[in-house]
Amino acid sequence: MGESFNTIRPLETPFEFVDERVIFIPRGRRLEVDNYGLKFIVFFEGATELLIDDQPVGPVGKGDILVVPRPCRQLYVPRNRRAEERLHTMRIMFDPESLRQSVDQEQQDGRPEPDLESDFPAFIRKTFKAVRILPGGLAGRAHELVQAIRDESERSAPGHRFRIGAYCRLLTMELAQLSGPTDRSPALISQPDQEAPSWTIEHTKQYLYENYSRALSLSEIAWEVKLSGEHLCRSFKEDTGITVFAYLRNLRIEAAKGLLTSSKLKITEIADRCGFGSSSVFSRTFLKAVGCTAVEYRRKASKRIIFAPTTLEPMSRFR
């Protein structure tokens, strides 16, 4: 069985729904998923090999984003086949009918080429044509947009569907840039017109995301981006409105919320995995940031979980 939570549907076209999902793949098995249209899959936890229609695509894991543009058969094969694998993902699913209508309209005789600046479904169809793994794609701006979607899904305040739809559009544009013709890691691509300070701030955010699970000092972070600690603090606060360590704390809190919802780990284990010095520090920080204790948050989150069937196949069938 899989567990889905923070599910929001329907959304404004061309999106259909967003949700988070946790699936445990038993030892010696692999997961089969029948895909029916374009979707983005954000990987928060887990490591697996991906096959599409039985053809190897490559490894995918924590921090990666997978683009699947067409109906197909996805297969996830755990990289460690002798142990159980846990996958925690976010799915952003597009409405196949709205994209199909765009295709049908383009194929009408005498119809001019669509204006990709005004026809969003046509832009999507033209941009996302192939299965693509974006290594390290969950960093910088993409991470902030994914986190905004998670926050809106969790709170479900009035108007949240419209806000989630807007964030999904922005994330689509961000992934369109990352899906450009390059073999480099998307997280390391800098835009030609990007000013140096902005690039430095994005580099800092990326470094914090990749290393939030361990103790970090200002001197280490500043050395990574080749600035003095004082210069980094000033530039980061001017650009983001918060301090470097407030941003780091937010990363750790969001990671902890994900583990509280999707795992059975003890509070002490979650505190350690998310870079907190102790469970007491974690508890105080979590209560101040979220407004409830970690235990209370986990209890409330458990009520949002929806169980769904999964298709698991024995590994022996494919040897």
Task: Give me the CATH topology for the region 196-302.
Answer: Arc Repressor Mutant, subunit A (1.10.10)
pLDDT at 269: 96
Per-residue tokens: 254: 């969001």
Cα 203 to Cα 141, 161, 210, 246: the distances in Å are 11, 31, 11, 16
pLDDT at 181: 56
pLDDT at 316: 54
- In the chain, residues under CATH classification 1.10.10.60 are 196-302
pLDDT at 311: 75
pTM beyond 0.85, yes or no? no
Q: Is 151 helix (H, G, I), strand (E, B) or coil?
A: helix
pLDDT at 27: 85
pLDDT at 82: 78
pLDDT at 76: 93
The mean pLDDT values, 10 residues at a time, for the chain of 319 residues are 85 94 87 93 92 94 94 90 87 91 54 73 91 91 93 93 96 89 41 57 90 94 92 93 95 93 92 94 96 94 78 60
Sign of the C-alpha dihedral, residues 38, 40, 46, 50? positive
Helix H or strand E segment including 156:
none
Farthest CA pair distance, the chain = 68
CATH code that applies to domain 2-184: 2.60.120.10
pLDDT at 273: 94
In the chain, % helix, strand, coil (3-state, to 5) comes to 45, 25, 30
Shortest CA distance to 3 belongs to which of 310, 314, 243?
310
- In the chain, residues under CATH classification 2.60.120.10 are 2-184
Which amino acid type is present at position 74?
A: Q
Which amino acid type is present at position 245?
A: F
pLDDT at 153: 93
Cis omega (within 30 of 0) on the bond before 59? no
Per-residue tokens: 173: 């544009």
Per-residue tokens: 57: 């695509």
